[in-house]
Structure 1
Amino acid sequence: MHDPDARPYQPIEAYGLISNCHGCALVARDGSIDWACLERFDAPPVFSRLLDRRRGGFFALAPETPFESARLYLPGTNILETTFTCATGAATVHDFMLAPEPGRALPCLVRLVSGVSGHVPMRAAYRPLAGFATRFPDLVAVPGGAGAEGLPDLIADLDLTVEGGEAVARFTIAHGGEQSFALFSGGAGDREALRPRDLMEAARRSWIGWSAGAAYDGPLADQLLRSALTLKALTYAPSGAIVAAATTSLPEEIGGIRNWDYRFCWIRDACLSFYVLKKFGMVAEAEAFFRFVGGLAERDEGGLKPLYAIAGEADLSEHEAAHFEGWRGSAPVRYGNEAAEQHQSDAYGQVLDLLHLYHSLGGTIPDAMARQAVRLADFAAAHWHETDAGLWEPRKPEQHYLHAAIMNWVAVDRAIRLFGERPHWREARDAIVARVNGEGVHRDGYYPQYLGGDDPDAALLIAPMVGFPVDEAAFARTVDVVIARLGHGPLVYRYRNDDGLPGHEGTFLICAFWLVDALAWLGRTEEAQTRFDALRALQNDVGLYAEEVAEDRTFLGNFPQAFSHLAFIHSALVLDLAHQGGREAVAGTYADRTLRETRWRRVPWIVPPAE
């Protein structure tokens, strides 16, 4: 075990993300890689100091003398540049990852140190750990590298020594000098493949080429591109799945138990994800994501699960690493997610909404997918009035959630638009509207979380954005109640009532952006813009969002969070439309807004013909 007086936990906002669209890593502002799942996002980590400062693995690289650091992403890329400045000079570290290539032994992660001025004494320390193992491996140093059985090989430009269980290199970097470190998975280390400057240029060109395809040229194009690049970085290339976040078990409350594994793909935001991907010209990613979700819908005829592993696996059995203390003492550390076994009926509406958007953009829905869509709509029509677990995955008895009813309405409404009217679909659609706008309205005139309840729920803010025919007075009152009872400045809690778990949580960024959208829909555009600008200022120094934000504006929850970036982009697009065309431009479904924008801005949305 290394020094018990290990460095303290770093704030979540202190991290930057690097990725090769298979796996990813988080690099702290002080140069330490404290989290990395290299072969795929949901694989056991190689570096895990993020979740236990003593027992977790890491790869540190920084000056040995006191320093200040500043960082940025190279424009249009996910290559992270950190500049360290100390009394004797300055040096930069470029961190990036490379996608695997069949038949070619490339490093999966490269760290390139360059001297900027003067001379800087540097120290590298490599200490990997196999998943959540209870003991560190015995590292073996060899000329120009180090490794351990079953873990990545580290190849370097200089020799390392093993000190206290760490493979350590000390060197001085002078102006114009370079040193490099590279990790090879599967014991495939090959010094001949280590041409770090060439590898970085290849990675840069690849990211730049991808970014050049961005179709969006409206306000905040640079910031929105950073969020699009983050979404790309969280996309699992072999399947097209988008993980909810890069991490597991970063807490919703410091010291609490609300620590979940988010390295999986949730169906919930399928339509929003496709919408944003298409908006930015990410045609290949959008098509791959559509095929992934469509394949799940075709396969799981017995009903969709709310989330899946990134290659489509349904078994996400939840486990705990009981010996890990968790970030800042927030235990347990979990891997797997038992919420995959919950019944969340809003998933049916999400899939039908995705198919409707895809078809509206000129896509052809395969016959098998169409048949499953009909089955999902039939199920929604027959069971919409039943209880379910709700979208927030509380650990408590099921309820008649209004959000679930609205999304079941979406399921049958989109089925009618796609396949024509059928009596039981029409009857269900009308009955849902009657219930939500009738007994669903609280005696004080707003929509509560569930039938007969008193508590507000930010999930109801999405209702008009999916085209649901809300009672406008009730919806306006709901917005005001959310602001009064769930709001904290520009931030919004998803709910404040009991959810069957001890403790509390931070505000949810996606809910704050939903409020922006809702205000724009109501025509309160100036208020929406003010809130949006305040939320935009909450990004960390390299443009990343977590899942949650505490009232003191520090980050909570898993990071970076795809849904927060999706919602940020969506709100920017909604405000763009609202400023151009007012309330009418914002109204309707995703498909309505998409086609409306296509006419106005000549955006290349249309789905290309199948090859």
Structure 2
Amino acid sequence: MTDPAARPYRPIEDYALLGNCHGCALVARDGSIDWACLERFDADPLFSRLLDRTRGGFFAIQPEAPFETARIYLPGTTILETSFTTRDGIVVLRDFMVAPEAGRALPSLVRIVAGVSGSVAMRAVHRPLAGFAAAFGALSPVEGGVAAEGLPFLAASVPFALDENRAVARFTLAAQDQQVFALHATRAGAADSPAPGDLMEATRRAWAGWSAAAAYDGPDADALLRSALTLKALTYAPSGAIVAAATTSLPEEIGGVRNWDYRFCWIRDACLSFYVLKKFGMVAEAEAFVRFVGTLAERDEGGLKPLYAIAGESDLREHEVAHFEGWRASAPVRHGNEAAEQHQSDAYGQVLDLLHLYRSLGGTIPEAMREQAIRLADYAAAHWHETDAGLWEPRKPERHYLHAAIMNWVALDRAIRLFGERPDWCRERERIVARVNGEGIHPDGYYPQSIGGDDPDAALLIAPMVGFPVDEAAFARTVEVVIERLGHGPLVYRYRNDDGLPGHEGTFLICAFWLVDALAWLGREEEARTRFTALRALQNDVGLYAEEVAEDHTFLGNFPQAFSHLAFIHSALVLDLVAHGGREAVRGTYADRTLRETAARRVTRVAPEADPAPRR
């Protein structure tokens, strides 16, 4: 077997996600955990080889001899099962994370490896790193595991020995043999922990019970459930926030500088996630997110930032980890995201749309949130005509983006539906329509990225899906321009114009799904389904999507990406609606479509057996 410490970077699509609604880990096909933030998504990592193959930490469990692998998630769970087949036999590795629980000493991550047939020589290599430290700390193999000052304790059923800056264990597995490894906050906690097999069964039951609550009886049910499980795993249970992705600094271009930290909660992304979660029957998560947004709006007096840390913190100052080389030498590695200081006015429309959907489905808007929502609408009415940074966060001067104008229209439209007509809201709502459908239309008949510009932008594909009264001929022409100038087969670039950064990026998966939705809205159902089928085939072997896809179908960008998974679910449900109700069934707002889906009984809800993320 190749030395695990010397192996090259693995493709992004090689990874699978482990999660417990607090933190996460990424496991490669070869059994190496190369990324893990155990306590919370945006914490410093314990394993970081994903971003530097020599300086980063990892935890690998593999056969000594050459092997082939196959892997699956246990049905309805985030428990990963990897099978290693060698010339000497077969072993199975099961990896899972355990949700914290008040009053009990539980490991955060457990790995159970068992023999299936033959006799297989195995090796475990543990090389943790404190965050992005410049050097590895001292490891101490002790009875029952490996200790390291200031780092979690690795409890193990086999002894480890030091080998330079790593701890190595060698052991042999025959059929029915089993060895266990678990990461605990402290060595003392490891001594009081429940049996690993009991923890795995409790974890399995919790996830399976949750999945039963999210039951869906339409096409692609298993694939949609996997995306729903991914969104659930990217939810931070203590606050209700939903992170954009599990990672930082996976590049949009190999060797380029478009590497961002996505381990935070974008209000825009999370509102769209709420819509999908609510439609898919995930009531508790949707309620928790509404409370999270309400708290932010009340605290910040309506002036919402585009993104927050997962407990609501707003200081996300961006800095570079200069001594890490980045995945496949794609530097810089970034911690934090300065986009938190940008003005992105489309977020106001997302929040008001969320509240409209929430109330339409029977929710009650608290008085404090009502006041903040009115303040957001007042702000939109007063400032919609001003420039902003845009949803794609270019590092260029602000402009008059059409997407921002449309989402300000959404803010006013939903405020009117929620709180009644007010003269300034009604007046400005109509002015936005007049501007977008007037000077906003390019001389060639399509909606461009910004007023007076020529460049297409895939963000405009969402206009009719939020209920904006588009000029249908202009929208149909916009779809054609997007296909012609931003498309590559079933894939879609979000834009191709200068954004103030060197280099370029891959195609953006959510935009490809937005094109599916737009085609369905236009009545081009067969074309929409063909594109959806092609996008469905781009998932990796365990059903996960990254942020972007290169033209050769390799993954780019942070992974797994909430945007991509919520878009996959949304497009599937849109096509389901079209199949049962025709083009008219997808007209109107998110709330309109959700109510139609509920009435058609396409989404069913069963009482959950348990929840994999109990609150403290």
User: Residue 561 of structure 1 corresponds to which residue in structure 2?
Assistant: 561
Give the partner amino acid of 1:450.
S
Kept in 2, the 8 Å contact 1:271–1:357? The answer is no
Displacement of 1:298: 1.7
CA shift at 1:3, angstroms?
8.1
Instruction: Name the residue aligned to 1:590.
Output: 590
Does the Cα contact within 8 Å between 1:240 and 1:289 map onto a contact in 2?
yes
Q: Secondary structure at the match of 1:212?
A: helix
1:609 maps to which residue? none
Q: Which residue of 1 aligns with 2:294?
A: 294
> Is residue 270–residue 354 contact of structure 1 (8 Å, CA) maintained in 2?
no
Task: Report what 1:55 is aligned to.
Answer: 55
Amino acid at match of 2:362: G
Aligned-partner Cα distance in 1 for 2:4–2:19: 31
2:251 corresponds in structure 1 to: 251
Query: d(CA) in 2 for partners of 1:464 and 1:380?
Result: 20
Letter in 2 for 1:249: S
Alignment CA distance shift 1:5-1:357 (3 Å): closer
Distance in 2 separating the partners of 1:269 and 1:165: 40
Alignment of 1:116-155 (within 5 A): 116-155=116-155
Q: Deviations over 1:65-92 (max 9, x none)?
A: 0000000000010000000000000000
1:199 shift after superposition: 1.3
Amino acid at match of 2:479: V
The farther-off stretch of 195-204 and 75-84 is 195-204
Contact kept, 8 Å, 1:153 with 1:188, in 2: the verdict is no
- Asked if the contact 2:302–2:373 (Cα under 8 Å) also holds between the matched residues in 1, the reply is no
Instruction: Give distance in 1, aligned partners of 2:185 and 2:448.
Output: 51
Q: Is the 8 A contact 1:216 1:279 kept in 2?
A: no
TM superposition shift of 1:5:
7.6
Q: How does 1:20-99 map to 2 (within 5 A)?
A: 20-99=20-99
Q: In the TM superposition, what is the alpha-carbon distance from 1:302 to its structure 2 partner?
A: 5.1
Q: Give 1:273 shift.
A: 1.5
1:279 Cα deviation from its structure 2 partner: 2.0
Indicate whether 1:506 and 2:522 are aligned.
no
Q: Provide the rounded CA distance (Å) in 2 between the counterparts of 1:429 and 1:315.
A: 33
Q: Deviations over 1:1-26 (max 9, x none)?
A: x9898110000000000011110100
User: How far does residue 216 in structure 1 lie from its aligned partner after superposition?
Assistant: 2.0
Which position in structure 2 is the counterpart of 1:267?
Answer: 267
| Equivalent residue letter for 1:122 | M
Deviation for aligned residue 1:602: 6.8
Q: Distance in 1 between matches of 2:56 and 2:195?
A: 30
Separation of aligned partners in 2, 1:64 and 1:459:
49
Match of 1:479 in 2: 479
Say which is worse superposed, 465-474 or 180-189, in terms of deviation: 180-189
Say yes or no: does 1:328 pair with 2:328: yes
Partner SS state of residue 482, structure 1: helix
- The answer for the alignment partner of 2:181 in structure 1 is 181
Change (3 A) 1:190 1:408: same
Instruction: Give the 5 Å matches for 1:157-556.
Output: 157-193=157-193, 195-301=195-301, 303-556=303-556
Report the CA distance between 1:280 and its aligned residue.
Answer: 2.2
Asked whether the 8 Å contact 2:302–2:372 carries over to 1, the reply is no
CA distance in 1, matches of 2:271, 2:189: 41
Contact kept, 8 Å, 2:539 with 2:545, in 1: the verdict is yes
What is the CA deviation profile of residues 498-519 of structure 1, one whole-angstrom value per residue up to 9, with x for unaligned ones?
A: 0000000000000000000000
Partner secondary structure for residue 155 of structure 2: strand
Deviation at 1:270, TM superposition (A): 3.8
CA contact under 8 A between 2:4 and 2:125: conserved in structure 1?
A: no
String of CA shifts for 1:1-58, please: whole Å, max 9, x gaps.
Answer: x989811000000000001111010000000000000000000000000000000000
In 1, distance between residues paired with 2:338 and 2:82? 38
The question of whether the paired residues in 1 share the 8 Å contact of 2:117 and 2:175 is answered with yes
Change (3 A) 1:602 1:18: closer
Contact 2:492 2:511 in 1 (8 A): yes
Distance 1:167 1:605, change over 3 A: closer
Looking at structure 1, the residues matched to 540 and 413 of structure 2 have their Cα atoms a distance apart, in angstroms, of 40
Q: SS at the partner of 1:601?
A: coil
**Distance in 2 of aligned mates of 1:377 and 1:186:** 49
Q: Deviations over 1:555-584 (max 9, x none)?
A: 000000011000000000000001111110
Shift of 1:282: 1.1
Distance 1:271 1:148 in 2: 40
Aligned-partner Cα distance in 1 for 2:344–2:417: 23
Contact 2:389 2:397 in 1 (8 A): yes
CA-CA distance at 1:188 after TM superposition: 4.4
Deviations 1:408-449 (A, max 9, x none): 000000011111111110111000000000000000000000
The answer (yes or no) to whether the contact 1:271–1:351 under 8 Å persists in 2 is yes
Contact 1:89–1:119, Cα closer than 8 Å, also in 2: yes
Shift of 1:179: 0.4
Pairwise CA distance, 1:260 = 0.2
Evaluate the alpha carbon distance shift between residue 40 and residue 270 of structure 1 in structure 2; reply closer, same or farther with a 3 A threshold.
closer
Change (3 A) 1:270 1:324: closer
**1:50 alignment partner, SS class:** helix
The 10-residue stretch of structure 1 (587-596 or 393-402) with the greater mean CA deviation from structure 2: 587-596
Call closer, same or farther: CA 1:396–1:605 in 2, change over 3 Å.
farther
Deviation at 1:281, TM superposition (A): 1.7
Cα deviation code 1:104-162 (max 9, x no counterpart): 11111000001010011100010100000000000011012112111010011111111
Offset of 1:320 from its aligned partner?
0.8
Q: CA, structure 1 residues 161+4, in 2 after alignment: closer, same or farther (shift >3 Å)?
A: closer
Distance in 1 between the 2:32 and 2:469 partners?
A: 51
TM-score calculated relative to the size of structure 2 = 0.97
Aligned partners of 1:217, 1:265: CA distance in 2, in Å?
A: 30
Q: Counterparts of 1:449 and 1:499 in 2: how far apart (Å)? A: 12
SS at 1:255 equivalent: coil
Q: Which amino acid aligns with 1:162?
A: L
Conserved in 2, the CA contact under 8 Å of 1:598 and 1:605? no
Instruction: Give the partner amino acid of 1:564.
Output: S
Secondary structure of the 2:257 match is coil
Alpha-carbon distance, 1:194 to partner:
5.3
Q: Within 1, Cα distance between the matches of 2:3 and 2:305?
A: 44
Q: CA 1:188–1:328 in structure 2 vs 1: closer, same or farther (change >3 Å)? A: farther
- Unaligned segments of structure 1, at least 5 residues: 607-611
Q: CA deviation at 1:189?
A: 3.9
SS in 1 for 2:355: helix
Contact 2:256 2:330 (8 Å CA) reproduced: yes
Ranges in structure 2 where 5+ consecutive residues have no aligned partner:
607-616
Q: Distance in 2 between matches of 1:604 and 1:380?
A: 36
Structure 2 distance, partners of 1:194, 1:267, is 38
Counterparts of 2:347 and 2:519, CA distance in 1: 25
d(CA) in 2 for partners of 1:430, 1:125: 64
| Contact 2:302-2:376 at 8 Å conserved across structures | no
Root mean square deviation, CA, Å? 1.4
Cα deviation 1:533-572 (Å, max 9, x = unaligned): 0000000000000000000000000000011000000000
Amino acid at match of 1:529: R
Q: In 2, are the aligned partners of 1:29 and 1:82 still within 8 Å (CA)? A: yes
